[in-house]
Amino acid sequence: MAPSNPRLRSARPRSISEGLNKLFNLFESKDRVLITIDADPDAMASALALKRLLWHKVQSVTIAHFNEIVRFDNATMVRLLKIPLVKLQQLDSKDFSKTLLVDGQPHHHEAFGDFTYDAVIDHHPITMAVDAPFVDIRPNYGATATMMTEYLRSAKIRPSKSLATALLCAIRVDTHNFELQALEEDVKAFRYLFPLANMNLLRKIEMSDMGVKDLKYFQQALDSKLITKGKVFSHLGNVHSADILVLVADFFMRCHEVGWTIVSGVYNKQLVVVIRNDGFRKNAGTWAIKAFGKLGSAGGHRAMARAEIPVANLDSHLSKAEVSNLGRFVIRQFKKSVES
């Protein structure tokens, strides 16, 4: 349900140029600026754009993240685009005169709660009022990178090839290539950035979703697969990251005979089940809840869903055969949900 308080629906300047002027007026040439982020493509690209806007206007700009960058595509983005990041935990806030937050809000993570912000720029829904001298939050935008592209254009700054690539990547990721919520402004930003970006680098970033050591899981998935009535089941046992289950599930969905993929594995003492389908007269989220909702967390959308169940919760639900092969348990639960 949308927030009823009008203050929580949006918080933005009346125009891009007005917002830009208000933003610039926050700073003096002696300022040392800290930009805090929860590092993902949109946050990193938006922070880069903000750093470019403040170039020659302040003494220094530091981009700091609190989270570990473990996804291969994110790590590849940092490496190929040479994004200058430092760990937030290694910094002393007293070393900075201004602190900014992009692609997030102060209440989104406890790491942000240690700071008093001078500016907050974001596109996520507002669930709590944000108090800062400058606030630009537009929940209807598909990406914060779109907002930052508008600021760059208003400032008559042509982004470098690496910055344009980062912003384009962010818009594609956060809008799921415009399959999710997006505005005409997102499309305009995409069209502006497209000829400025390095498409070879962008393609490499988007394709870098696994490491060489992950190839063994695909062999394991092929060896363990069970195909029945257009459904592919595969259990990978213990995995070093739940992301590999998503990659394998998407891989099986490339087969034209396949309507469902159900890929499971154990990560961090949790049985993780990733479900994909072609989205035609099916609802993966509903079936995930019916199959696993009473045992752990489960849910999702029509074409994709996920369940996570503590392995310790399963002892009383497993048959002798299923104790040594949780994949059999997943198949049983899924078939029960379909038949009920």
CB atoms within 10 A of CB 38: 19
Residue the block writes with tokens 């154990």? 266
CATH fold of 215-339: Diaminopimelate Epimerase; Chain A, domain 1 (3.10.310)
CA distance 14 to 74: 34
Task: Cite the residue boundaries of each domain of the chain with CATH code 3.10.310.30.
Answer: 215-339
* Whether the predicted pLDDT of 284 surpasses 80: yes
pLDDT band at 316 (very low <50, low <70, confident <90, very high): confident
Burial degree of 56 (CB within 10 A; 0-12, 13-18, 19+):
exposed
**Roughly how many angstroms between the first and final C-alpha of the chain, as a whole number?**
30
More confident residue, 53 or 72: 53
Apex CA 52: angle with CA 49 and CA 56, to 5°? 160
What are the pLDDT digits (tens) for 33-71? 999 999 999 999 999 999 999 999 999 999 999 998 988
pTM: 0.71
> Are 208 and 76 spatial neighbours (Cβ–Cβ below 8 Å)?
yes
Top mean pLDDT of 191-195, 206-210, 311-315 is at 191-195
Task: Cite the residue boundaries of each domain of the chain with CATH code 3.90.1640.10.
Answer: 6-207
Return the pLDDT at 192: 98
CA distance 242 to 260: 19
> Are 205 and 169 spatial neighbours (Cβ–Cβ below 8 Å)?
yes
SS3 244: helix
CB atoms within 10 A of CB 189: 27
Which amino acid, 268?
Answer: N
Return the pLDDT at 318: 81
Burial degree of 126 (CB within 10 A; 0-12, 13-18, 19+):
buried
Apex CA 249: angle with CA 247 and CA 250, to 5°? 65
Dmax (CA) for the chain in angstroms is 70
pLDDT band at 5 (very low <50, low <70, confident <90, very high): low
For domain 6-207, give the CATH number: 3.90.1640.10
> Are 197 and 168 spatial neighbours (Cβ–Cβ below 8 Å)?
yes
